[in-house]
Amino acid sequence: MEPHGTDDLDLDLHRARRTGEPEVVLAGPKTPEQAARAVRGLLDGTTGPVLATRCTPEHVDAILEAVPEAVVHHDAGVVVARAALSDPTLGLVVIATGGTSDLRVARECQVTLEAFGCKSDLITDVGVAGVHRVLGRRAQLDEADVVVAVAGMEGALPTVIGALVEAPVIAVPTSVGYGAAFGGLAALLGMLTSCAPGISVVNIDNGFGAALVARRILRARNRPAGDA
Amino acid sequence: MEPHGTDDLDLDLHRARRTGEPEVVLAGPKTPEQAARAVRGLLDGTTGPVLATRCTPEHVDAILEAVPEAVVHHDAGVVVARAALSDPTLGLVVIATGGTSDLRVARECQVTLEAFGCKSDLITDVGVAGVHRVLGRRAQLDEADVVVAVAGMEGALPTVIGALVEAPVIAVPTSVGYGAAFGGLAALLGMLTSCAPGISVVNIDNGFGAALVARRILRARNRPAGDA
Amino acid sequence: MEPHGTDDLDLDLHRARRTGEPEVVLAGPKTPEQAARAVRGLLDGTTGPVLATRCTPEHVDAILEAVPEAVVHHDAGVVVARAALSDPTLGLVVIATGGTSDLRVARECQVTLEAFGCKSDLITDVGVAGVHRVLGRRAQLDEADVVVAVAGMEGALPTVIGALVEAPVIAVPTSVGYGAAFGGLAALLGMLTSCAPGISVVNIDNGFGAALVARRILRARNRPAGDA
Amino acid sequence: MEPHGTDDLDLDLHRARRTGEPEVVLAGPKTPEQAARAVRGLLDGTTGPVLATRCTPEHVDAILEAVPEAVVHHDAGVVVARAALSDPTLGLVVIATGGTSDLRVARECQVTLEAFGCKSDLITDVGVAGVHRVLGRRAQLDEADVVVAVAGMEGALPTVIGALVEAPVIAVPTSVGYGAAFGGLAALLGMLTSCAPGISVVNIDNGFGAALVARRILRARNRPAGDA
Amino acid sequence: MEPHGTDDLDLDLHRARRTGEPEVVLAGPKTPEQAARAVRGLLDGTTGPVLATRCTPEHVDAILEAVPEAVVHHDAGVVVARAALSDPTLGLVVIATGGTSDLRVARECQVTLEAFGCKSDLITDVGVAGVHRVLGRRAQLDEADVVVAVAGMEGALPTVIGALVEAPVIAVPTSVGYGAAFGGLAALLGMLTSCAPGISVVNIDNGFGAALVARRILRARNRPAGDA
Amino acid sequence: MEPHGTDDLDLDLHRARRTGEPEVVLAGPKTPEQAARAVRGLLDGTTGPVLATRCTPEHVDAILEAVPEAVVHHDAGVVVARAALSDPTLGLVVIATGGTSDLRVARECQVTLEAFGCKSDLITDVGVAGVHRVLGRRAQLDEADVVVAVAGMEGALPTVIGALVEAPVIAVPTSVGYGAAFGGLAALLGMLTSCAPGISVVNIDNGFGAALVARRILRARNRPAGDA
Amino acid sequence: MEPHGTDDLDLDLHRARRTGEPEVVLAGPKTPEQAARAVRGLLDGTTGPVLATRCTPEHVDAILEAVPEAVVHHDAGVVVARAALSDPTLGLVVIATGGTSDLRVARECQVTLEAFGCKSDLITDVGVAGVHRVLGRRAQLDEADVVVAVAGMEGALPTVIGALVEAPVIAVPTSVGYGAAFGGLAALLGMLTSCAPGISVVNIDNGFGAALVARRILRARNRPAGDA
Amino acid sequence: MEPHGTDDLDLDLHRARRTGEPEVVLAGPKTPEQAARAVRGLLDGTTGPVLATRCTPEHVDAILEAVPEAVVHHDAGVVVARAALSDPTLGLVVIATGGTSDLRVARECQVTLEAFGCKSDLITDVGVAGVHRVLGRRAQLDEADVVVAVAGMEGALPTVIGALVEAPVIAVPTSVGYGAAFGGLAALLGMLTSCAPGISVVNIDNGFGAALVARRILRARNRPAGDA
């Protein structure tokens, strides 16, 4: 999603102006030093939010050395070097997860939203193996302007939610599961072929990407009417 | 499942004694003449139920010529040449389907069960995109000794049912769907990785196979206690 | 997406109230008679839009016999039995396609949006093999509240658009292409792993599904502020 | 299978009442602390069996610290915090395995059954490469009310057993094998396409899931006749 | 296997000398005219056996017009324009098949062997779903110098035979089966990962290829001892 | 291939009599202790060759402790506890490999053949990227009664050899290569679809399995003529 | 490759100036009318070569009606509406094919090159199953400035040629073959993992794409030295 | 690509004469000792460039011990034992990469070109998520005689470049990305199905292979005109 652009700052610092999103550092495939340098560079060269995702402890250490004031979210693997002010008028994202093992992905989504100033609620453990659990949260789900549904294994949670609520549902398959889960493939295919309406899908484990889609929807929601 | 044995009658007519199931003719990959000859042979050489599955109209015509008294179930693609007497004491199989397009598979299961003397109910159109539909049938599902859940696309129906009832659930993925459904693969993987308990899976579109598993469970249910 | 529910009208006619979407008839896997009966039933039993997608000429004939006033969109494979009034205040969906061969999917999306009262523009032939073409349409794309990007083969169009505009982008992979396109798999994987922000994906060739997601986003956009 | 629900005890403690199964902790994708907390919580909040599966040595240590009285089954990767009383009247499950390398999965099945009060026998090393071995165990297999057949590589064991016995056969593919075994895929596809009757399949390496299906079948077997 | 060389006769007529096999015409992907011309050319330009495989009725007609004396084997899809003299001293190939639907592939193998002068026996319908059937043919199988085992679906027949006999077993997966059989993939993977000794595998439905391997083994068997 | 049987010695010690092959210990998926116990048991309970394949250094240490006289072949990952006497009258196997990285698999084949008393030659580094290399070894290849061709990446070596020699060719795909080699899949598919005659295939990296097939062919070669 | 742009002529007629290639009409997924209109439009709006590929007889008829002077190449599925003048100074492309069944793809390549003014030779039937055939053409291959190697099944031809010549080799996998050829996948993977140097690969059956790459290489060859 | 030949020096030292490329040592699957011996052997036995690719630190240490004068390129994983003299008259290769994470593959390509005397420029961070970045480098790209485009995830960079420049484009998919990137499969399929002209593809992460293709194109460019 974001490995591009951080070495090419003169060009990419205008990016926020163009699409409304700043560059974000995907630490995962980078060395700690590369990641830290990219975060520092974005912090110095831009004025918007700056964060790094998929951070290992080594990434975290290197980034903290370069940017001591950064805030670390260990459960999300995210480091926030500069966050936007929270803007509750944008609307509400509700993030729902199937099980404990999906939490890291859900938290990556939530921390990213927060860094971008978006308000979100997190509903955990509403896997469809106990369908009453998700039904019991219907009032909370109905308040969402956007729902992000995070689930591994057979990935049926977005289907059930998509049929309950009116909001658009962003489905995030996770790599939780073994055997025929094939690293998230079962959940991915299930979500793509869902028989419920209003569901679109992002990459496996891509909580960050879901946050960006959710934020765009909230921004569309708040766009002056004359724009369209 | 059943292409084996019908040419080799001297050996295989003892099969019913061994596993309790007679041979069945899988017409699909056979010529109409091969299928008709096999049905006739089993009818003459055995005393149990005789049926042919996956019949095209050409198969039906050829079989009816060879066995004029056979009963044709067009919506199931099944021809029953001789059925067992219905034995309601065996217990009840409830077959649930997601949508209209899954009906042929569900009916293949039901007609097979009936030919073997097993009682079944068919609940249609309880796809999870409207989860209240399946919840609304809970009383009926609770009466089942075995549930057969038939669904295509993301195949989430067995998950929801598995979490509602106490009976074993046999999941039948169907090839209904397009694109990332990949001919039933999405439903198959979803059912195998279900987060609900008590679910086992048969081949894509294999309504017949599900009937055989269900019948074995009913027979286990009715086995004299001293056996175990 | 919609095979469920049309046989079970007493329950499902309340569906529009629940999620804001009426049931739609996916004609593809149904017989012409099943499809026509379902359309007739929905028309009589509901008050909202009624349409059938993936219609073959045989489906069209059967539906027209049952509902003579229906409007047929041959280039989209869609029959509209009753459309909502157009509501331009909802916002604008811009649908962009890579090539001529993707048009049927794009038109399925557009006709569905129209039947639901949503305004849309269609930009054709802006495949990335001539990236100046899509760049030349930037002003038009900037007007969109939601973009639907339809492309086969390597499916790079959503990536380029996602990096140009601020609106959420719904990516629709198509089965256009041969060999290593593997029936839309190449485009699907490409869209899921896009390096651009704000993209989510629906099933291969699922123009209808993209329309439902777009409509939910437009509705979120027009929701009273107090809701969240 | 079970990551859902353990953080949400107020709702899920009623689960046993609903489907007859308590929640079980799938330790694998959880941290040792998460797993230990979940086991402790279930032990305190429920009255039925409590166990954790897929435990690493680290999981075992953390659970034993939280629940010193727990019983550890190292060869199965299972920790039992509270077991049901054994109820031999339920019937007998016979678990058959192809080879030494399949033992861990078979033992996961057996320990789970035992924790739920179900009686089981384990027949090892009856791989079909020496078909006389499984034939030599026919008497023992005939005593089963349910057979669980565990095998890797080409996974042919359930086929041979399915054709020998009258009981339902639950097939468990294992990830044993290399190259074209593709992590259990060869065995999984083989079992799904078996030409023998009465076989249904659970996920690769899912000994626990097979135990839950077997237990439901035994319970169906013992259900009062008036129920159906 | 054999599309190469038939247009390039000046070079390839020496092929028989080099590897002991004449060129054979794979009619399948050729036009009837191309196939007929190739057969005629080989008949005129060589002195060994000449045959065409994978013939449709159109291929057969065109070849018969070009070579009226050719012998047609409809059940095998093979036309033999010139056969070698039968040489029973070469040894015996036993071909075993799982079911009726595998017969065309088995017959392609047998007719090819016969055209090359090799003796073979065909044992049909010994699918492992009735393992006593194949056990009952053990004496016949023991007479084989080479066994060709042809099976679709889960493809377990070579495993059982490989563990019974001393001869090398050539496994031929067939595309018989549906759903998770994936056009012969399940049988192919099963045969490649077989837990029985002495098995090697040819392409799906490749009865012709199995015959060539079997013939080479028979020839190795009859090679003068001084050669090695 | 061989995990079955080593725990069940009373039955399986008769195996050599039945198929001519003793059991072999596949150490890979076993603990060092399980492997050592199995080797010791076979050594004490049988009179034929005893070996263990896929041994790690830990397996080797454990086996040497249990059987100090065992011979270790580090480059093959094989430990031979008891070898058959060499019998050169059986014939000659020539093993050819594409590159240095395929050597371990080729040596597993060679050491196994040697332990079974079969004579073999090893030709290394005749990859088809320099086709003159394999052509330059034609005389040596022509002496073979059986050729084993070991190759990774695109796996074209068996094709070239199959078209050069008269002997049967056993193709062994290896997992050498990266990216689109997909762990040996490219080589496996290439070998199965080879356009050359006389080739059959074993599992990826299965040098041991190739040795068993080769040995059966040599034995068929030496079988008294009256047998057939 | 080329569905984009033909409806959008005002923009795309400048394309030839930009990359040196005119747009080409991929008839395959278009209706005959769409294809004919596109050819006519390009002919009238441009001055360079105009052709249509993947034409069915219906496409050919429609195009001939719109452009009576077009030249039809039935064996290539290509219609040339206007060809460039042949320019032999550009250099020579040698196209080599494995077998008769690959000819259509090879001819699509050759006719495209010819329409663009490039000189080419076609060498047929040099499949590696008779490696002497390709070796015998070495002098001819050495004259090539670019080699296009077209092959199905295991696709080993580019490997052998890549190791013989000094020119760049463009590998074209074809969908010729059955079973494990998986529609060209085996050849594609084999070519991508080739152990020979200087090979790059285009899509399955993409003779047209290979021609475009070859033409670019010839043009690079003839570029004034000062350019670099 | 290069594991073959280094053990067989007497034959392969003539290889440079035949195809113009010396053998190169693919260190990856070799032990450090094997790699070092091969480099030393090539250095002593040949007169052209000698290099080793895919070197781990252990490979580097072993090679430096054997060849102390070797030059190590850590960012490329390449050790150059002897380089050719730079020959700028050959032409220019421009290597373009999508993101920081693709750099190692791009550098493997560049260092290999340099060792072979070819001039190259490296353009980093021109991923299509900011399409203006690659457009901004058009002048630099236009100078290329060959472009190598390196990209992971959806791999759209070659498509955009192929439509901008006149030079042949060699596309290198990388394994950068997660989830549905499937280790480079998404990028590979995307590049193979690109809708832009003039693109051919090498294996995933194969920067070395791209360099060999590029060098052949440059050599074709500089070949005396009389050759063709």
Order of strands, edge to edge, in the sheet holding C71-73?
C25-26, C50-53, C78-82, C71-73
Q: How far is C110 from chain H (nearest CA, A)?
A: 24
What CA–CA distance (Å, rounded) separates E227 from F167? Answer: 12
pLDDT, tens digit, for every residue of D56-74? 999 999 999 999 999 999 9
What CA–CA distance (Å, rounded) separates B45 from B47? Answer: 7
Burial of D67 (0-12, 13-18, 19+ CB in 10 A): buried
pLDDT, tens digit, for every residue of D91-115? 999 999 988 889 999 999 999 999 9
Specify the residue for token string 């969906």: C93
> Are residues E18 and F192, on separate chains, in Cβ contact within 8 Å?
no
Q: Which residue of G has its CA nearest to F182?
A: G189
Q: Which H or E run contains A149?
A: strand A146-151
Is the model's pLDDT at D225 over the cut of 70? Answer: no
For residue B8, give the nearest of E125, E179, E180 by CB distance.
Answer: E125
CB E13: neighbour CB atoms within 10 A?
Answer: 19
| Contact E118/F at CB under 8 A | no
Task: Enter the tokens of residue H104.
Answer: 């190692």
> Are residues D7 and A136, on separate chains, in Cβ contact within 8 Å?
no
Q: How far is A104 from chain D (nearest CA, A)?
A: 11
Is the model's pLDDT at E66 over the cut of 50? Answer: yes
Residue to test with chain H: of F104, F125, F133, F154, most H Cβ within 10 A: F125
| Contact E88/B at CB under 8 A | no
Q: Do chains H and A touch (3 or more CB pairs under 8 A)?
A: yes
For residue E130, give the nearest of B4, B203, B205 by CB distance.
Answer: B4
Nearest to B200 by CA among A152, D221, D170, D187: D170
- What is the band of H70 on the pLDDT scale with cuts at 50, 70, 90? very high
At residue G48, what are phi and psi to the nearest 5 degrees? -90, -170
Radius of gyration of chain F (CA): 18
Mean pLDDT across the stretch B27-38?
91
Mean pLDDT across the stretch F146-154?
96
CB contact burial H124-143 (16+ within 10 A = b; e otherwise): bbbbbbbbbbbeebeeebee
**Residues G168, G217: contact at Cβ < 8 Å?**
yes
pLDDT, tens digit, for every residue of H26-63? 998 888 999 999 999 999 988 889 999 999 999 999 99
Order of strands, edge to edge, in the sheet holding E169-173?
E119-123, E92-97, E146-151, E169-173, E199-201, F199-201, F169-173, F146-151, F92-97, F119-123
CB contact burial B133-145 (16+ within 10 A = b; e otherwise): bbeebeeebeebb
Q: How far is A17 from chain C (nearest CA, A)?
A: 10
Query: In this predicted complex, what is the ipTM?
Result: 0.91
> Are residues E4 and G99, on separate chains, in Cβ contact within 8 Å?
yes
At D63, which amino acid appears? I
For residue C101, give the nearest of G12, G30, G204 by CB distance.
Answer: G30
Least confident of B126-135, E102-111, H216-225: H216-225
> Are residues C7 and B124, on separate chains, in Cβ contact within 8 Å?
yes
Specify the residue for token string 């099980």: A99
DSSP H helices, G46-196, are 57-66, 103-115, 131-135, 138-142, 157-162, 185-192
Give chain A's largest Cα–Cα span.
53
Nearest to B101 by CA among C31, E111, D49: C31
Is the model's pLDDT at F45 over the cut of 70? Answer: yes
DSSP for E170-217 reads EEEE-----GGGGGGHHHHHHHHT-SSSSEEE--TT-HHHHHHHHHHH
- What is the band of A12 on the pLDDT scale with cuts at 50, 70, 90? very low
Burial of E36 (0-12, 13-18, 19+ CB in 10 A): buried
Q: Which residues of E touch F21 (CB under 8 A)?
A: 197-198
Residue F99 confidence (pLDDT): 83
Specify the residue for token string 């897929």: D54
CB contact burial H208-225 (16+ within 10 A = b; e otherwise): bbbbbbbbbbbbbbeeee
What CA–CA distance (Å, rounded) separates H169 from C173? Answer: 25
Distance of CA G161 to the CA centre of its chain: 18
Percent of chain A with pLDDT over 70: 89
pLDDT, tens digit, for every residue of D143-180? 999 999 999 999 999 999 998 999 999 999 999 999 99
Radius of gyration of chain B (CA): 18
pLDDT, tens digit, for every residue of D185-195? 999 999 999 98
The number of CA neighbours under 13 Å toward the Cβ of H135 is: 12
Residue G6 confidence (pLDDT): 37
Is the model's pLDDT at A7 over the cut of 60? Answer: no
Angle at which helix C185-192 crosses helix H185-192, to 10 degrees, equals: 130
In this prediction the pTM is: 0.93
Which residues 161-190 of A have a C-beta within 8 angstroms of H?
173, 175, 183-184, 188
> Are residues A8 and H133, on separate chains, in Cβ contact within 8 Å?
yes
Residue F16 confidence (pLDDT): 55
Q: Which residue of H has its CA nearest to F137?
A: H11
At D33, which amino acid appears? E
Cα angle value B127/B132/B136 (rounded, 5°): 100
What CA–CA distance (Å, rounded) separates B161 from A130? Answer: 10
In this structure, the strands spanning A199-201 and D25-26 are unpaired
Residue C8 confidence (pLDDT): 38
| Contact D154/E at CB under 8 A | yes
Nearest to B3 by CA among H74, H212, E130: E130
DSSP for D59-109 reads HHHHHHHH-TT-EEETTTTEEEEE-PPP-GGG-EEEEEESSGGGHHHHHHH
Q: How many CB pairs under 8 A join F and H?
A: 66
Task: Enter the tokens of residue D148.
Answer: 């669980």
Is the model's pLDDT at A216 over the cut of 50? Answer: yes
Residue A78 confidence (pLDDT): 97
pLDDT, tens digit, for every residue of G140-178? 999 999 999 999 999 999 999 998 999 999 999 999 999
> Are residues A163 and C198, on separate chains, in Cβ contact within 8 Å?
no
Sign of CA dihedral H104, H108, H109, H114: positive
What CA–CA distance (Å, rounded) separates F204 from F219? Answer: 24
Residue E15 confidence (pLDDT): 52
What CA–CA distance (Å, rounded) separates H201 from H209? Answer: 10
DSSP H helices, G20-123, are 32-45, 57-66, 103-115
What CA–CA distance (Å, rounded) separates B158 from B141? Answer: 12
DSSP for H171-227 reads EEE-----GGGGGGHHHHHHHHT-SSSSEEE--TT-HHHHHHHHHHHHHHHTS-GGG
Q: Distances in Å between the alpha carbon of A159 and those of A5, A150, D187?
A: 36, 11, 30
Mean pLDDT across the stretch G94-102?
91
Burial of G51 (0-12, 13-18, 19+ CB in 10 A): buried
Is the model's pLDDT at H111 over the cut of 60? Answer: yes
Mean pLDDT over all residues of chain A? 88
**Residues H147, H170: contact at Cβ < 8 Å?**
yes
Is the model's pLDDT at C221 over the cut of 80? Answer: no
Residue to test with chain D: of F2, F4, F17, most D Cβ within 10 A: F4
Residue to test with chain F: of G193, G199, G200, G204, most F Cβ within 10 A: G193
Residue F3 confidence (pLDDT): 38
Residue A29 confidence (pLDDT): 85
> Are residues D4 and A136, on separate chains, in Cβ contact within 8 Å?
no
pLDDT, tens digit, for every residue of C22-41? 678 999 888 899 999 999 99
Residue G51 confidence (pLDDT): 95
Which residues 120-149 of F have a C-beta within 8 angstroms of G?
127-131, 135
Specify the residue for token string 């018969």: E64
- What is the band of B187 on the pLDDT scale with cuts at 50, 70, 90? very high
Which residues 17-36 of G have a C-beta within 8 angstroms of H?
18-21
* Strand partners of residue D173: D151
3-state percent breakdown (helix, strand, coil) of chain D, nearest 5: 45, 15, 35
pLDDT, tens digit, for every residue of F23-39? 789 998 888 999 999 99
- What is the band of D88 on the pLDDT scale with cuts at 50, 70, 90? confident
> Are residues B99 and C3, on separate chains, in Cβ contact within 8 Å?
yes
Q: How far is F72 from chain H (nearest CA, A)?
A: 19
**Residues G151, G102: contact at Cβ < 8 Å?**
yes
- What is the band of B3 on the pLDDT scale with cuts at 50, 70, 90? very low
Task: Enter the tokens of residue B86.
Answer: 């219905």
pLDDT, tens digit, for every residue of H114-173? 999 999 999 998 888 778 889 899 999 999 999 999 999 999 999 999 989 999 999 999
Q: What is the DSSP letter of A85?
A: P
> Are residues E190 and D127, on separate chains, in Cβ contact within 8 Å?
no
Residue D7 confidence (pLDDT): 40
